Amino acid sequence: MKANISQLRELQAIDLKISILDKEIAAGSTEIDNRKVSIEGHKDILVQLSEKIAANEQRRRELEAELADEQVRIKDRQAKMMNVQTNREYQSILKETEDSKKANIQREEAVVLLMEQIEALTAQIEEENKICAEDEKMLADDIAAVEKKTSQFSAEKSKIIKARESKISGLSASLLKKYTAIRDKRNGLAIVPVTAGVCRGCFMNIPPQLYNDLMKEDKLISCPTCHRIMFHEVETEEE
């Protein structure tokens, strides 16, 4: 039984290394995905800014057209004022002319405001383009680095998997099945030490009689709480 425990411990150490490598490979992919999401976010902002500029430009052109049309009408009214025959008619045309001038002043102010907004939006676009360019360069660098690391990790993983295949060949099918089932349920830890009567998988005390049986090392014993396979380990001074 000691041999089985030893083999399971070695197998678990191998599996933990494989798990670490898998996490490293996944972390690289996640980093790249996050960078891509960031770039897409900036591109979405660029689209929104461009749409705002287009809308402002459209409104500016409309206001400028209204300004020009109203200016023509003002000149027409001013010409009519030279030929009016009554004071009432004169005052009416004068009021219309003054109202038109006020409306045009508001239009001019609106045009100036729109142009200022367009300028600010254009500056934002330049900044977003700069950020996008920097992020795309960093993405290219990240992809190259991750591909290099992934290649290294994959090569290392292949070697470890070969060692694992060699290790499991010495275990019975039923024991391997039990180990695998526990490992899948317990975050990669299927076999854990017990020191001073405490399971180091769930940190719960095990019954004294079970602890005594464990110390005999003549059979496989599972923790009654977390159901991991246990082995006795002498408590060190540090612990």
Distance CA 234, CA 226 (A): 21
Q: Is residue 178 part of a domain?
A: yes
Cα(first)–Cα(last) distance of the chain, in Å? 26
CA-based torsion, 87, 89, 90, 91: positive or negative:
positive
Same domain as 163, residue 63: yes
Query: Which of 168, 202, 217 is the last residue before a domain boundary?
Result: 168
* Conformation bin of residue 187: beta by default, left when phi > 0, alpha when psi is -120 to 50: left
Same domain as 201, residue 92: no
Locate tokens 């391997």: which residue? 176
Query: Which of 112, 146, 168 is the last residue before a domain boundary?
Result: 168
Does 82 have pLDDT greater than 70? Answer: yes
pLDDT tens, residue by residue, 101-145: 999 999 999 999 999 999 999 999 999 999 999 999 999 998 998
Does 47 have pLDDT greater than 80? Answer: yes
Q: Which residues span the domain enclosing 152?
A: 29-168
- Lay out the sheet containing 191-195: strands in order across: 198-199, 191-195, 229-232, 221-222
Confidence grade of residue 236 (pLDDT, cut at 50, 70, 90): low
Does 227 have pLDDT greater than 50? Answer: yes
Same domain as 216, residue 150: no
Same domain as 121, residue 214: no
Q: Contact, 238 vs 229, CB < 8 A?
A: no
Does 238 have pLDDT greater than 60? Answer: no
**Average pLDDT of the segment spanning 201-229:** 93
Confidence grade of residue 239 (pLDDT, cut at 50, 70, 90): very low
Nearest to 115 by CA among 54, 57, 67: 57
Q: Contact, 223 vs 195, CB < 8 A?
A: no
Task: Give the domain CATH number at 36.
Answer: 1.10.287.1490
